[in-house]
Amino acid sequence: MCGIVGAINHHNIVPDLLQGLSNIEYRGYDSAGIAIANQAGLITVKRQGKLQCLRDQLSQNKLRSYVGIGHTRWATHGKPNEANAHPHSTAEVSVVHNGIIENYLTLRQWLCAEGFNFSSDTDTEVIPHLISYFLHQGESPRAALCHALSKLEGAFALGVLFRDDPEHLYAVRRGSPLVIGQGDQGLCLGSDTMALPAYIDRIMYLEEDEIACLSADSFELTDQHGKVITRTMQAFSADQSAQQTHTHQHHMHREIHQQPETIRDTLRHTRRSLSDLPFDFNRLERLHIVACGTSYYAAMIAKYWFEQIARLPVDVDIASEFRYRAPLLSQQGLSLFISQSGETADTLAALRYADTLGQKTGGIVNVAQSSIARESRFHLQTHAGAEIGVASTKAFTAQLVVLATLAVYAASCRNQHTFTENYQLQLDLTALPGLAAHALTLEGHCKHIGQSLKNCKNAFFIGRGAHFPLALEGALKLKEISYLHAEGFGAGELKHGPISLIEQGVPVFVLAPKNQLLEKTLANMEEVAARGARCIVLGEQQSLQNLPAHIETLQLPEFESPFSPILYAIALQLIAYHAALALGTDVDQPRNLAKSVTVE
Q: Which residues, at least 6 apart from 540, have a Cβ–Cβ distance to it below 8 Å?
A: 513, 514, 555, 556, 557, 558, 559, 560
326 three-state secondary structure: coil
**Closest approach of ligand F6R to the CB of residue 28, in Å:** 10
Strand 552-555 with 31-38, pairing: unpaired
**Closest approach of ligand F6R to the CB of residue 69, in Å:** 25
Q: What is the H or E stretch that residue 510 is in? A: strand 507-511
CA 347 to chain centre: 11
Using CB under 6 A as the binding rule, whether residue 295 contacts ligand F6R is answered as yes
**Closest approach of ligand F6R to the CB of residue 302, in Å:** 14
**Choice between 292 and 580, CB closer to ligand F6R:** 292
**Closest approach of ligand F6R to the CB of residue 342, in Å:** 7
Stretch that binds ligand F6R, among 28-36, 169-177, 178-186, 293-301 (CB under 6 A): 293-301
Using CB under 6 A as the binding rule, whether residue 405 contacts ligand F6R is answered as no
Using CB under 6 A as the binding rule, whether residue 48 contacts ligand F6R is answered as no
220 three-state secondary structure: strand
**Closest approach of ligand F6R to the CB of residue 379, in Å:** 13
Number of residues that bind ligand F6R (CB under 6 A): 14
Given 294, 405, 416, 573, the residue binding ligand F6R (CB under 6 A)? 294
Using CB under 6 A as the binding rule, whether residue 397 contacts ligand F6R is answered as no
**Closest approach of ligand F6R to the CB of residue 595, in Å:** 7
Provide, for the chain, the percentages of residues in helix, strand and coil under a 3-state DSSP scheme, each rounded to the nearest 5: 40, 25, 35
Given 122, 124, 262, 340, the residue binding ligand F6R (CB under 6 A)? 340
CA–CA dist 413, 415 (Å, integer) = 6
**Choice between 340 and 376, CB closer to ligand F6R:** 340
Using CB under 6 A as the binding rule, whether residue 339 contacts ligand F6R is answered as yes
**Choice between 126 and 484, CB closer to ligand F6R:** 484
Stretch that binds ligand F6R, among 106-114, 152-160, 337-345, 521-529 (CB under 6 A): 337-345
Using CB under 6 A as the binding rule, whether residue 101 contacts ligand F6R is answered as no
Three-state SS for 328-387 is CCCCCEEEEEEECCCCCHHHHHHHHHHHHCCCEEEEEECCCCCHHHHHCCEEEECCCCCC
CA–CA dist 181, 177 (Å, integer) = 13
Stretch that binds ligand F6R, among 15-23, 26-34, 121-129, 333-341 (CB under 6 A): 333-341
Query: In this chain, which residue has its C-beta nearest to ligand F6R?
Result: 293
Q: Exposure string (b/e) for 287-307, b if CB count within 10 Å is 16 or more?
A: bbbbbbbbbbbbbbbbbbbbe
Span 438-477, contacts to ligand F6R by CB under 6 A: 476
Using CB under 6 A as the binding rule, whether residue 344 contacts ligand F6R is answered as yes
159 three-state secondary structure: strand
Closest CA to 6 of 108, 76, 79, 86: 86
Long-range CB pairs of 191-194, under 8 A, 24+ apart, other chains included: 191/2, 191/3, 191/4, 191/5, 191/24, 191/27, 191/98, 191/157, 192/3, 192/24, 192/27, 192/343, 192/367, 192/596, 193/236, 193/238, 193/369, 194/23, 194/24, 194/26, 194/238, 194/242, 194/243, 194/386
Given 54, 206, 354, 391, the residue binding ligand F6R (CB under 6 A)? 391
**Closest approach of ligand F6R to the CB of residue 372, in Å:** 8
Stretch that binds ligand F6R, among 261-269, 334-342, 463-471, 573-581 (CB under 6 A): 334-342
Count of other CB atoms within 10 angstroms of residue 445: 16
**Which residues are known catalytic residues?**
2, 595
**Closest approach of ligand F6R to the CB of residue 340, in Å:** 4
Span 578-597, contacts to ligand F6R by CB under 6 A: 597
Using CB under 6 A as the binding rule, whether residue 347 contacts ligand F6R is answered as yes
Span 111-140, contacts to ligand F6R by CB under 6 A: none
Stretch that binds ligand F6R, among 98-106, 291-299, 328-336, 573-581 (CB under 6 A): 291-299
Using CB under 6 A as the binding rule, whether residue 480 contacts ligand F6R is answered as yes
Using CB under 6 A as the binding rule, whether residue 598 contacts ligand F6R is answered as no
Closest CA to 169 of 96, 234, 238, 228: 96
Using CB under 6 A as the binding rule, whether residue 293 contacts ligand F6R is answered as yes
**Closest approach of ligand F6R to the CB of residue 242, in Å:** 16
Q: Exposure string (b/e) for 52-85, b if CB count within 10 Å is 16 or more?
A: eebeeebeeeebebbbbbbbbbbbeebeebebbb
**Closest approach of ligand F6R to the CB of residue 347, in Å:** 5
Q: What is the H or E stretch that residue 261 is in? A: helix 259-273
Given 182, 191, 341, 397, the residue binding ligand F6R (CB under 6 A)? 341
Span 504-533, contacts to ligand F6R by CB under 6 A: none
**Choice between 156 and 337, CB closer to ligand F6R:** 337
Closest CA to 187 of 205, 202, 172: 202
Using CB under 6 A as the binding rule, whether residue 392 contacts ligand F6R is answered as yes
Binding residues vs ligand F6R (CB under 6 A): 292-295, 339-341, 344, 347, 391-392, 476, 480, 597
